[in-house]
Structure 1
């Protein structure tokens, strides 16, 4: 295990700057996920950590040692690729032990390492098969076993589950989580799937256009996003963004939302979160951020209603998912998504009473899209 530090790393391909002075650090044994849309630079950063791409400037340190100019073999890292990268003519045993053989590890030690990781990954019964005889999930386990056999300082996973079907991807995600809990290894993992990021990571780095917009725990990037991009990228369904006007109300502030029916909808902003800077924005347009689970339906059968501000909206679309129901509701200039319980009986066109949990809402500047409250 080893700590990893990226210090002002820049990568240019000709005139195009792909990584723009990227800095981050994780402690030994942490699970870091690099997440972002295609083309954001996450795979380039992964390749720079691995030594597959030389950086234009900046430093990469593993366990306090500067490895910026070292070859991949000299960095003591192991990488699991999206494409598995197994040798088709070799058995599973030979694929796992190949890297150790290249490093002149004695035969007895190689045998012991293969047996250890095969048992860990539950592929002992596959050791004499060849990759063509394996399923996608089994091939990915073999690729992981090849990396685990080496016991390097840092493991790198480059979108390892993207070629698997949906159910197998969920199963393998659980296996990777269990593996990290057992071994306590330092892992850097690239994905475009924010569900993988939320479920696996100790730390998430959200990237866009070669920058790291936010580095934090899954809870931090989900509940305290720094801007609208992070807020919208993390979460499924994504956060609702509603244009509103900030108004003064009884010494505090409220948000007025213009509705198509010209009804006046106002939502009070929590007094405990009202700052002088926010009060200075009275009369200006802001963006209110509400996640689908911040809405809850009223239920006359309940003696005590859920906390929150009451409102009503007409349902336009109902999407049952089994565990809950997603509703599309016109609110202001937009349609928003609300997540309600599976027993909510509602049909398109129904008028539904809801409560909005404003204590968990966030607010963004309408022009810069930066978080302001």
Structure 2
């Protein structure tokens, strides 16, 4: 039985359809992340799951029970908000235990729950303080503790880290990951940060314009994107998209990339990645997708298919990041980003020979933007 199931949910605000026939299901203990750009409908979907926003049509089931028209209190969920939503006049202890008190949980059980989550989140020394005396990270822990004090069927996190600074976000992300691994809870988590999505999720739903474009594991949405939007949204820096012409012959398929002022670049398409649809596309324009790490000056980082696939270009920008170096270089009609090792000694204006790992490249239709191969 799924811990959460959404069936053909639509949500309209006046004449605007914000959610368009959304369906998904996750099992007990799974960590689902809803990710997408601002305005894609992810927070509206979260509010519909919580019961804060009534749906126009469709069904929502929690642990097999239809809750579409039930109030938030009747859904057995706990929610952590972006704004923390702590009661300023209450101590940390009072904030954590308040929900349990409203549900008439006996005092001894409430106190035991507070001590349990305080120890889990390492905030025992803060229990008698008020929210104004806490840092942003501490307030976020209290908000999480209030949710964890209960044992609901589903936890909902609505961009809980967006108000934190960069370092604290990384630290809290790690804490949430540890909590999920330790407790095995079912979590639905909204974020616009694709790094958060990749590091935390068991399953990612990529949303755009009120629809789920792809639902899959982090590896699937990153390495096997269904279209150009998903490919470009997941990953930092994002995937490079290069216009090419698909050519075919007895030697297999090739991609011809027109390079201004220089000889055209021809890249072989891997035999292992051929699909029946490619035969109908010969002579047509396609879009080649290459991630920054698909370029390398080191043979050891390449798949067998990539050996011998070389290009040479003049570097326009070199950006050392410590762990690696990001290079900008012209390819086709525009520029691409290549991620190379920190020992690569190259400066802007110098020419560099790189190998291209075509074994991990992806191909898209230039008109529909859907994945071809």
Q: 5 Å matches for 1:169-180?
A: 169-180=169-180
Give the structure 2 partner of residue 280 of structure 1. 280
Does the CA-based 8 Å contact 2:244-2:288 persist in structure 1? yes
The residue aligned with 1:354 is 354
**What is the CA–CA distance in structure 2 between the aligned matches of 1:308 and 1:83, rounded to whole Å?**
53
Q: Does 1:43 align with 2:43?
A: yes
Which residue number corresponds to residue 243 of structure 1? 243
Distance 2:16 2:245 in 1: 40
Counterpart CA distance in 2 for 1:131 and 1:293 is 44
Which residue matches 1:64? 64
Kindly tell me: are residues 130 and 2 of structure 1, through their superposed partners in 2, closer, same or farther at Cα, counting changes over 3 Å?
farther
1:159 equivalent in alignment to 2:180: no
Match of 1:311 in 2: 311
For 1:353 and 1:299, the matched residues in 2 are separated by 12
Question: Which residue of structure 1 lines up, in the alignment, with residue 74 of structure 2?
Answer: 74
Match of 1:341 in 2: 341
Give the equivalent residue in structure 2 for 1:257. Answer: 257
CA separation in 2, counterparts of 1:277 and 1:216? 23
The alpha carbon displacement at 1:279 in A equals 1.8
**2-side partners of 1:295 and 1:155: how far apart?**
40
Structure 2, unmatched stretches of 5+, are none
Q: How far did 1:251 drift?
A: 3.4
Give the TM-score normalised by structure 2: 0.97
Deviation at 1:248, TM superposition (A): 1.7
Q: Could you give the per-residue CA deviations for residues 202-260 of structure 1, whole angstroms, max 9, x where no partner exists?
A: 00000000000000000000000000000000000000000000112433110000011
**CA, structure 1 residues 353+298, in 2 after alignment: closer, same or farther (shift >3 Å)?**
farther
* Unaligned runs of at least 5 residues, structure 1: none
SS in 2 for 1:3: strand
Q: How does 1:131-142 map to 2 (within 5 A)?
A: 131-142=131-142
**Contact 1:298 1:353 (8 Å CA) reproduced:** no
**Are 2:86 and 2:131, in contact at CA under 8 Å, matched by a contact in 1?**
yes
CA distance in 1, matches of 2:352, 2:299: 10
Cα distance in structure 2, aligned partners of 1:105 and 1:36: 38
Shift of 1:299: 7.6
Structure 1 residues 95 and 308: CA distance shift in structure 2, 3 A: farther
Q: Name the CA distance, whole Å, in 2 between partners of 1:132 and 1:32.
A: 32
The alpha-carbon deviation at position 307 of structure 1 amounts to 3.5
Alignment partner of 1:191 is 2:191: yes
Alpha-carbon RMSD: 1.6
Per-residue deviation at 1:276?
2.8
Equivalent runs, 1:98-117 vs 2, <5 Å: 98-117=98-117
Instruction: State how far apart, in whole Å, the 2-side matches of 1:2 and 1:255 are.
Output: 44
Instruction: Please list the CA deviations of residues 299-357 of structure 1 after superposition, one character each: whole Å capped at 9, or x if unmatched.
Output: 89xxx998351111110000000000000010001100000000100001111010000
**Distance in structure 2 (CA, Å) of the matches to 1:352 and 1:298:** 12
| Residues 118, 124 of structure 2: 8 Å contact kept | yes
Size of the aligned set, in residue pairs, is 370
Give the whole-Å Cα distance in 2 for the aligned partners of 1:216 and 1:84.
Answer: 29
Please give the TM-score of this superposition, normalised by the length of structure 1.
0.97
Alpha-carbon distance between aligned partners in 1 of 2:226 and 2:347, rounded to the nearest angstrom: 36
* 2:123 is aligned with 1:123: yes
Match of 1:325 in 2: 325
In structure 2, distance between residues paired with 1:308 and 1:18: 48
Tell me: CA distance 1:252–1:152, structure 2 relative to 1, closer, same or farther (3 Å). Answer: same
Match of 1:27 in 2: 27
